[in-house]
Amino acid sequence: MSKLTLKALKILVVDDEPNILMSLEFLMKKSGFEVFIARNGHEALNIIRKEKPGIVILDIMMPDLDGYAICSYIRQESPIPEAKVVFLSAKSKTADIEKGYGAGADRYITKPFSTRKLIEEVKELATAHNNN
């Protein structure tokens, strides 16, 4: 795989909350990433197949497919099993976090979250993705 710059790396943000989508889209673009957004699990699957993002930021609780199912799809069936997955969720119980990592997440960040910490985590994952 050729080396990608942070600017060239595609990020998919998946959340059914419009305010979170807008703010994360703005933050990720400001940080130099190419950003795609999905409002539900089915939109996410379509974007994953078409755009093949390097990082996927996923909410867990969504009306159609939940984040666990999308993460499992990425790891087991998608064209991008090496993509980095970050769960961004209000589900903060230990069992929920363990389930997230069990589904294949690289990071699990609970809401409310620090945007600075999220950007740091995403940049760290982008660097790791580029080194693969």
pLDDT for position 132: 64
Q: What is the pLDDT of residues 68-82, one digit of tens each?
A: 999 999 999 989 999
pLDDT for position 4: 44
Q: Which residue has the tokens 């950003």?
A: 35
Looking at residue 1, its amino acid is M
Ordered DSSP codes for 62-89: -SSS-HHHHHHHHHHTSS-TT-EEEEEE
Q: What is the pLDDT of residues 101-114, one digit of tens each?
A: 999 999 999 999 99
pLDDT for position 3: 40
Share of the chain above pLDDT 70, in %: 92
pLDDT for position 1: 35
pLDDT for position 130: 72
Q: pLDDT under 50 in the chain at which residues? A: 1-5, 7
119 within 8 A of 27, measured Cβ to Cβ: yes
pLDDT for position 129: 74
